[in-house]
Amino acid sequence: MRLVATGGTISNRTGGRLTAEELIKSMPNVERYATPEFEQFANTASSALTLEQWLQLTRRINTLFKEDAALAGVVVTSGTDTLEELAYFLNLTVRDPRPVVIVGSMRNPSTLGYEGAANLLEGFRVAAEPASRGRGVLVVMNDEINAAREVTKTDALRLHTFQTRGYGILGVVDSDRVVYYRKLERRHTSESEFDVSTVSALPRVDVFYTYQGAPGDIIKAAVDAGARGIVIATAGAGATSGTQADGMQYARAQGVAVVTTTRAGSGRIANRAGGRGTTVGGEDLAPIKARILLMLALTKTKDPAELRRIFSEY
């Protein structure tokens, strides 16, 4: 089992960050479940990781799997602020059925009640569990297993922050064993069509929030600045406000992909024929995850029909 450490609160003790080796040593009796290996990919806040580093990380994980047929799985540590984004990106770009498990912590190693070592050990247990194979990238924290596609950070401070609204957890990590209750139905990992091995940079995609009187000129400015895709976090089931519709029309006229999602926290935005035929429904993806899927989709196509297919399958 290989730990690939990127930093985050789980490493951020007072006076200096824990290294990947120190994280391994913090886990009691990890050898009961796996033979741990480790490497230090980065050691920073998750929000400081660049898109270029995302590409490097997924290539590294794919290389690990390709070069070591005996490797059971990979555990990645991440800061929690953008953990769900990194997890979903890896869910779409790691091209192997073996488990990739993302873990983090809400409290740092210098804080009373630090849960990082427990989360990390549970991450290793999940990665070592044969039933984890083929389930996509998994997020393991607070004794629960969530799918990278579905999980959301729901609270700025509490330990139970990572939840799957509407659908529920995939499983749990209990003292006796790892238990699964369901599987993710959407395409991911080894079934994904996204190969970033030769992608040098991801296209720019910006996210805009609908609010009362929202201006469309901000959308136009993003298009003029080079955005190739726009995601709108609409109100309710697709409503925009102010002059956003004008901005969206301008974007489409410039050949920029426009995806509509909902700011509600859950719910599905379907594709509709007719006057908005060039707008893509973001399905039930959160706006920040729709951005990730759109970035990857735009490395392959900008045809609206193909984009709708991609959003319906992933």
Predicted confidence band at 277 (pLDDT cuts at 50, 70, 90)?
Answer: low
Q: Known catalytic residues?
A: 9
Using the predicted structure, report yes or no on whether residue 68 has a pLDDT greater than 90: yes
Tell me the pTM. Answer: 0.97
Predicted confidence band at 278 (pLDDT cuts at 50, 70, 90)?
Answer: confident
Measured distance CA(211)–CA(310) in Å, rounded: 28
Helix, strand, coil abundance in the chain, percent, nearest 5: 30, 20, 45
> How high is the pLDDT of residue 274?
47
What digits encode the pLDDT tens for the residues 74-94?
A: 999 999 999 999 999 999 999
> How high is the pLDDT of residue 275?
44
Taking every pair of Cα atoms in the chain, the longest distance, rounded to a whole number of angstroms, is 61
Helical packing angle, 83-93 and 287-297, nearest 10°: 30
Residue ranges per structural domain of the chain: 2-191, 205-313
Fold match, 2-191 / 205-313: yes
Q: Hey, what CATH class is 205-313 in?
A: alpha beta
Q: Which two tokens stand for residue 301?
A: 């196509």
Pick the CATH number of 2-191 from 3.40.50.1170, 3.20.20.80, 3.40.50.720, 3.40.190.10: 3.40.50.1170
Among 136-140, 275-279, 301-305, the least confident range? 275-279
Predicted confidence band at 272 (pLDDT cuts at 50, 70, 90)?
Answer: confident
